[in-house]
Structures are given as structure tokens and as C-alpha cells.
Structure 1
Amino acid sequence: MINPIISVIMPVYNGEKFIKQNIINIMNQSFRDFELIVINDGSTDCTQNICESLSKIDNRIIFITKENGGPSEARNLGIKMAKGTWICFIDSDDYVDTTYLSSLISQYDNNADLIMSTFLYGERHVDILPSSYQYRHLYKLGNIYNDIHIHYLGYIFGKLFKCDIIKEHKIQFTSNIKIAEDSIFISQYLYYTTNVFIVDSDQYHYKTNIQNSLSKTANINERFVSYKYNLEERKKLVDKLHIESYKIYYYYINSLNYAIKCMYKNCIIDKKERIEYLKKFAGDDYFRYLRKSNSRFNKMSYYILKLKFYRFYDLLNMIFYNHLWRR
């Protein structure tokens, strides 16, 4: 087929329960000029048979199977295969409305380097920008970066990326990072981005009950490594944009705080190791940003750890978070 306008990249692992319907839903898009690259990441169920059958029906489906290496490796392979002007990532266990691609690509500004859309997080609408901004509008990244919901910048879905930018600058997913790798990829991409086109279109449905399973089981060391790497990439970006963005430090330290909370789920590590991570957390260069949290518990946590009452804080968390996680 002639090079399409959009390359949709979708890795899948053991998706026999949902992959058929999701592929059919994508192929029924009202916007037709796209290819769907499905990468089977070493599935052990019937995923391969399902995808192979569907690829024989529609020549826009490009099906690849590989040994299991994780979603980052699979997406990188999809990028290598992509022939479209734009690249769109869809997770195999999410679903999109039939006008999803059309809502992203129609009426966009030709000067856009990135197209972003609102989406549904479960059943909840997620805004990208404060209400003072207009949708269906082109913005300079440096003018809106501080106002974009930073958590949203951690997701690769609901976006169109220019294939030329990705390939020219050799932007890839970091395969040895198992959590928040999306956010790292986006920060690296934004480094070469000037203009962003914002769309208000809740046509991507993010399934929180399934997709968060990997991030919830990631160990605390993986989280610390990933969040620090993520921060470094965001620092490079804001330095290039010549803006001050305290929110990247605030978001980083709150991500570490979340990692601490997860550490107490089911007591997965012993007390000595927990204490060491508490010391590492309290000794971080940006630990002071925890004090600015709206949460009273987080503010209290800041002062307890600042005073080095690690064993008391450990006991407090054992009681509080074990009760919270088990509710």
C-alpha cells in the first residue's frame, strides 16, 4: 500500500480475550488512510492465531510476532516498521471510538509537531489544559508547558507523533525501564517539538483496571530509577524551553512518595530495607517539595522524615497503608 498518513502501533501480550474486538474496532475507523502494526510480544495464548487471521482479511494490518521482551521493545519494533507521516500508539487492552483517528487528524494545523487530545480515564473526562485555553488551537510548547497537566504528559495514547521527528532523532522507548517509560519517551520527543495542537475529543478509553497492573507490581527500586531518569529528561526539556518549571520537581517527589506507599503493600521487603529507602527518599535533592503538598499526611511525612524518625515513620506506614491497601 502507498505510505499511509497514520501508522497505528499496538503491542499485545496474551490478549486473546480482547484483541479481536479491539482490532476490528480500529479497522472500522471512519478515517481510512492508516496502517495498523500489531506486535505480538511472545504471547502464550491464542493471540497470534487471532491476529494472523485478521491480517489476512485487511491488508492494512501488519502483523509481527517476536519473543517476549516487553512493551518498549515491541513499540520500538513498530516504530522501525512505520511508514506513516504520523505515529499513533494504542494499547491493546484499551479501546477507541470509530471516529478517534478522524478527531485527531481533521482540522489540525500543518505546523503542528504534536497533536494531543483529551481522553476518558475509566469513565472520567481528563482535561489537558485549564479552561482559559481554547481547544482546536495551535500553541507554542514553551508557552503552555507549565499549564499542561503534567501527569497527562506521561501517557503516549491520545497523541499523534511525527514519524520524521522520531526517526531523525532516533527516539526510542527505554527497554530497561519498566515503569513510566512512556513519560521518558514523550519528554525526549518534546525536546524536538515547537508547536502543539490541542484537541477536545474523549474518544480514547483508558482501562484503568487492566493497564495499571504492571505499574502496581513494579518494585520500589525500579520506581526510584525510572522517576529519576524521567526527571532528568524533563529538566533537559525545560532548560531548552528557557522556562522555570517547579512542577516537574513537585511531581517527581510525589512520584517517589507514591513509591514509598507501594513499598508497604503486602510488606514485600523487610524492615531494614524499608528504612534504607526512607533514608534515600528523605535525602533526595528535591525532598523539600513534599512539604508543599496539599495532603496533611504528606506534610506530616516531610517533618517526620526531616527529623530522621525513620523507625516511627515505618511503623506509621505499616499501620496506615496496610489498612488502606486492604480495604
Structure 2
Amino acid sequence: MSINLHGRSVLTLDDLSPDEIRFLLRLAADLKQAKLAGTEQPRLSRKNIALIFEKDSTRTRSGFEVAAYDQGAHVTYIGPSGSHIGHKETMKDTARVLGRIYDAIEYRGFAQSSVEDLAKFAGVPVYNGLTNEAHPTQVLADFMTMREFTHKHLSDMVMAFVGDGRDNVALSLATGAAKVGMDFRVVSPRELWPAPDVIENLAAEARKNGGVFSIGEHIRPGVLRADFVYTDVWLSMGEDEAAWPDRIRLLSPYCVTTDVMTATENPYAKFMHCLPAFHDRNTDVGARIFQRFGLDCMEVTDEVFESKTSIVFDQAENRMHTIKALLVATMGG
């Protein structure tokens, strides 16, 4: 089957079919091998990409910049205070300007409607580097990493997300897992479950592709036989500090500990996290959380984070390789 993604935008994983997801993962693996072997061929010479960051970033920015440079493209970084977006100019007008100058646009920010406006009016491929609703490039890297750490096909894997069930990464993982037919479980306090229609749609998509989507409150049955246990931060960028006590109260029982990993009853189970992670007190936020709540970690213990089960830095590296695949597939000759 021929796959052609040229000129396409990726705003959520709903923009990709199961075959297109698998194609991008194969391409990413080939590009990674070529980079390691020193045989990579640039396919994006003379291309220019605008990188809009309304939220700060480490992995997304680094991934897009290095992927572009490796492939011969140039990038312009537009930071939170580096443009008129939202202050003097609408996203619609910004899109019509940048689309005449650049060959593609990446957006990392808050509202999904912002990246949708870019895609609607720019006339060039637009990539969602993270919004409040979705994080598709993260999930592509996660799936690539999962394939590297097990002999199983994606459709044979079991993944459990432990934490906030409405989290943008959790929902993006659930969407991707449903498309590739995975057994995907969300383990979350009921107060943080997605809306019923979202749960129904995910379950229906999973059934259509031979997979399973389930959601529950109890950790032990949720992680049993999981190949991968995934979590994300409890306190996202821009989170109102007034909400911290309630969120910490709800999510404290869902910290990924050694006992959680043992509860998988799978000696080969791996721990995953999209990063950054609050696994100790060695950050400003970590120190403040300890001072206010007496917690020396939040969503994962340092013991698990630093263990041999943790593959979080493999995920971080693969952000660059899967982003590169996306750029090549949508912009390359």
C-alpha cells in the first residue's frame, strides 16, 4: 500500500490512519539507523520551518531543530514574546503571513483552536508540538520506543497510563493505541476521567482495530500484565496553583512506585514518561511542592525513574527521530 503524506498537517493522531502511523514509525527507524551509520541523506534542503512556542520546551524544540538541521532545513524560533501573536495579531493573520514565507509551521501552545487556525489558513503543513488537548509527536516517539524494547507488535502490547485520565498525553496515547489495536488502560481517579462520549469513542475505535480501551480507578488490575506503565506530571504548565491541593489529593494514590511496577507481574515491564518529571526535590517546583505538601516526589518515585525499567531518555531521543520522519514525509521530495 502506497503512503503519501506530502503537504499534510498533523494536529492530532486522528489526522493519521493506522497504516500512516506505522509508516512514520518505519521511516523514523530507517532515519535513526542512517544517522547512527553516518549515511543520512538530506531531503529538506532549502526548506524553511517556523517554530512557534507559546509554551517553553526542551524536547520538542530540540527535536524539531536537530531534525530540520540534519535534513538540510532552516528553522526560525518564535518564542512566547517573539511575535505579535495574540497581542496585536490574530492567529489567522499570523498564519497567512507565515504561510507565504515558510514551508511548514510547528506550534506549541495552549488552545487546540490556535493550531487549527494555523493549519486552516497557512497553506503549508502544520505540526502540533503540544496543545492542552493533544501531543501527537510525543506519542509517535513513544510507540517507536516501545517497539525498540519488546519483540511484540504494537497490536500485541499492553500499556497502562497511571494518573490524570484527561491529560493531553493520556488522551493522545489512547487515540494512537486505539488506531493500532493495542490493549490500553487508563488508571485514574474517577474525578479525572474523560467525558463519557470520549470514553465511548475511544472504546469503539479500539474495537474496530482489534484493540481494547478500558478505564478504572484501581491500580492493580489496571497494570496487570502491562508491558509499559506510563505517567505524566500532575501539575502542567499554566496550572493554577490554587488547584494544586485538590490535584495532589486526588493523584497521590497514583504515584508510580516499585510496588506499582511489581503489580504488573511482568518482569520485563518498562516505565515511561514524556518528561519533565517530578521524581525528586532538585527543581524549583519540586522544592516548593516539598515545602507545601511534604512530598519528595509526585507522579513517580526516584527509585523507579532511575531504575533499569525506565526508558524515559530513549523516548526523549526518539522525539527527534519521529519528528524527522514527519518532516520528511510531509515536506520531502
Same fold, judged at TM 0.5 (above):
no
Where relative contact order (Cα < 8 A, 6+ residues apart) is larger, the structure is 2
Q: TM-score range by the shorter chain?
A: under 0.3
TM-score (norm 2): 0.27
Structure with the greater alpha carbon radius of gyration? 1
